[in-house]
Homo-oligomer: A and B are copies of this chain.
Amino acid sequence: MAERAVCVVGTGLIGGSLLRAANKAGRTVWGVSASATTAEQARADGFDVTPDLDAALRRVADADALLVLAVPLPAVPDVLGRVDAVAPTCRLTDAVSVKVPVGKAVARHARRARYVGGHPMAGTADSGWAAGTAELFADAAWMIAADDRLDLDVWRDVAELAWACGARVVPAATADHDRAVARVSHLPHVLAAVLAATGAGDADDDLALALAASSFADGTRVAGTRPELVIAMLEGNRDALLVAVDDALARLTAARIMLATTGRPERPVRAGHVARLRWASRREPVGHRVRLDGPAALAALRKIGRRGDIVTGWMP
């Protein structure tokens, strides 16, 4: 059986990298860019990209392809409206950084689609077609939604696409995913902005910036991302992010009090060190082969994700 064809809507950093990676893996893949200029640029680079969404969706329906939405969250409902009109029952996933709002949008705008949410956890501070690379997803986590009643056949399609791109498959319930990325993906953007602004200080005194070294450079790297993208991303996960920000505020306040009273912020520094070591120890996750059938399959997948483990293949 030939591997499933893929259509990617959106050709920014993530969508553009996905096109390249799927193409490199030998998949039949085509893309859609809302910008005729970008589509032309991608075609000049040798990729099958069109500004005509409906034409691309007709091809999805004809080829029984996997459709991947890689547009920012605010653009999702309009694209879903066209999906419902042109390829209503297609195999559908996405690469948006929050899952609950996309799930709701699918339920509202394209409820017949065979949707399984996804989120490849890769990125750089750059954006746009030109920033993409076929290697962006190498060893990156690729979350695939493991909620009850999802389509296991499409789950398999998404996992196989993730593996083809070199990524690690991490299963999670959508709500668990959104809470987790609020802490490890969205909060870092908020703290990077706070650190950058605090560090830079007054506009008429550049001494601090002249003295800034790698701790400042690393801690503020993602503040270099286009603000529109960051704001849309944070907005899309507001509720979970508020909980994460409140947690960070409580910890920062505790560090402040300990510094003021004892002079030594002992406990917060040690807690951060232990947490960083815990993260490092998860860099070589345990792999599991799973059986994708029966009512217990999705619960078993969620358990793997909560352990910090990954899915590496199917049980025969």
A residues contacting B by CB (< 8 A) are 119, 121-124, 140-141, 143, 170, 172, 176-177, 179-181, 183-185, 187-201, 203, 205-227, 230-231, 234-235, 238, 241-242, 244-249, 251-253, 255-256, 259-260, 263-266, 268-280, 282, 285, 305-310
Contact = CB atoms under 8 A, between A and B. Distances in A.
Given A197-B272, A210-B170, A259-B241, A123 B215 contact: yes
A122 B264 contact: no
Given A269-B234, A272-B197, A279-B199, A185 B212 contact: yes
Contacts of A200: 275, 278-279
B249 A306 contact: no
A189 B197 CA distance: 16
A212 B269 CA distance: 20
A260 B289 CA distance: 42
A184 B172 contact: no
A interface secondary structure, majority = helix
Given A199-B183, A266-B231, A272 B206 contact: no
A245 B235 contact: no
Copies of the chain in the assembly: 2
A240 B205 CA distance: 16
Contact of A238 (B124, B207, B253, B259): B259
Contacts of A230: 269, 273
Given A193-B273, A275-B196, A275-B199, A170 B207 contact: yes
B247 A264 contact: no
Given A196-B271, A212-B279, 19 more contacts: A179-B208, A183-B198, A183-B199, A184-B209, A184-B211, A185-B211, A187-B195, A188-B195, A188-B216, A191-B194, A193-B265, A195-B272, A205-B306, A207-B308, A212-B282, A223-B273, A224-B277, A226-B273, A227-B270
A158 to B, nearest CB: 16
26 contacts: A123-B214, A177-B207, A179-B208, A183-B201, A184-B199, A184-B212, A185-B212, A191-B191, A191-B252, A192-B215, A194-B272, A195-B272, A196-B273, A196-B275, A197-B275, A198-B248, A199-B279, A206-B282, A210-B308, A220-B272, A220-B276, A220-B279, A225-B273, A238-B260, A242-B260, A245-B259
Nearest to A172: B207
Contact of A187 (B198, B207, B222): B198
Contacts of A268: 190, 193-194, 197
B272 A192 contact: yes
A204 to B, nearest CB: 8
Contacts of A255: 190, 193-194, 245
